[in-house]
Amino acid sequence: MRENTKLLHGYKVLDTYTGAASIPIYQTSTFHNKHLYDDSQEYLYTRFSNPTVDALEDGFRSLEDSKYALSFSSGMAAISNVLMLLNAGEHVILPKEVYGGTCQFVNNLLPKYKIEYTFVDMADIESVEKAIRENTRMIYLETPSNPLLKVCDIKKIVALAKEHDLVTVADNTFMTSLAQEPLKLGVDIVVESVTKFINGHSDVIAGLVATNCETYYQELKLFQKNFGGILGVEDAWLIMRGMKTMGIRMDHAVKNAQKLAEFLQNHPRVKHVYYPGLKDHPNHEVHMGQSKNGGAVLSFELSSKEELIAFTEKIRIPILAVSLGGVESILSHPATMSHACLSPEERLEQGVVDGLLRLSCGIENIEDLIEDFKQALES
């Protein structure tokens, strides 16, 4: 099946029990046992499994083209559960510019479990190799990165990891599997914030984990059940509805991002534009070799904090908010939003300066977006 057909028909979309065209919201905590000592009973308790959530996870398997997929109550729940695959005394390598929430979890919580970590420039494969120790077990990558859209070579990192028998994990939130497929490039585990493009309507918090490895799946299923970071059934239903239009939404948003990046790149008030779809992006060729397009997220830098404040007060169409991936364009200020949990020194090390703004392009008409950005920059 092709992309949009798959999103509509490539998984369990009809209710088994009634034939309903929309999987119902099975709003229940528990299920009646017809017989005792009956191992064939499918559902017992919603923390273990639920028909609505099961249908969504089937959709995730179809979307990710994976053998296994799990839903979680947030993107960070998915990420933290995967990082808990590490044991005391083991070591993980992560990108310097990793998502702020992941960075906070690693810095503040992993040491409590005696897990070691190193942040490196993931685009420099030699730096990654130098960071490998005897106790290294995992390489965690994020490409493009948040918020500076830095790109690393997935195939090279996977090859290095296999050489040293390491687990690879990729946060694929920015691109989604519609544009970039880390599992097909050899990555062991993919995590995504479903809150963003998969759901696409800024009304759900959720995460997913996908893998082709049964061992990782079984351990993560145990974590899901016992750490308790399960997804609510109403959220699962909303995500299934959102997924049906994901292909159409992403196609339009990506086209908007490309055109807006080109507009901003040529504007004298913009100091720098970060977008892997631009030919002068440092790793444009690497990105386009592993992705179908530049994605729907870009960042740009203005010259001063004063110019930034003036711009955000004049802009009209994008909402100024945390998060990304909605049908509406969302403008974020990483220093006070996604990366506010980091110290000023940590933000500076990542390149997150006060003048930086991140834009998640929505599905508005591009002419309206460009006109709005033009007036906000020039008035």
The tens place of each residue's pLDDT in the chain, 379 residues long, gives 899 999 999 999 999 889 999 999 999 999 999 899 988 899 999 999 999 999 999 999 999 999 999 999 999 999 999 999 999 999 999 999 899 889 999 999 999 999 999 999 999 999 999 999 999 999 999 999 989 999 999 999 999 999 999 999 999 999 999 999 999 999 999 999 999 999 999 999 999 999 999 999 999 999 999 999 999 999 999 999 999 999 999 999 999 999 999 999 999 999 999 999 999 999 999 999 999 999 999 999 998 889 999 999 999 999 999 999 999 999 999 988 877 777 787 777 778 888 899 999 999 999 999 999 999 999 8
Residues 164 and 260 in one domain: no
Residues with a known catalytic role: 47, 99, 171, 196
Sign, Cα dihedral of 340, 346, 350, 354: positive
Q: Which of 188, 220, 243 represents a domain boundary (last residue)? A: 243
User: What CATH number did the domain enclosing 329 receive?
Assistant: 3.90.1150.10
Residues 272 and 229 in one domain: no
Q: E strand or H helix at 69, and its extent? A: strand 68-72
Q: Which of 194, 220, 243 represents a domain boundary (last residue)? A: 243
Residues 61 and 84 in one domain: yes
Task: Give the SS3 label for residue 274.
Answer: strand
In the numeric block, which tokens belong to residue 338?
Answer: 């996604």
pTM given for the model: 0.96
Q: Which domain holds residue 305?
A: 246-378
Nearest to 294 by CA among 306, 280, 309, 310: 280
Residues 120 and 38 in one domain: yes
Residues 362 and 293 in one domain: yes
Q: Which of 217, 243, 269 represents a domain boundary (last residue)? A: 243
Cα–Cα distance for residue pair 96/140, rounded to 1 Å: 11
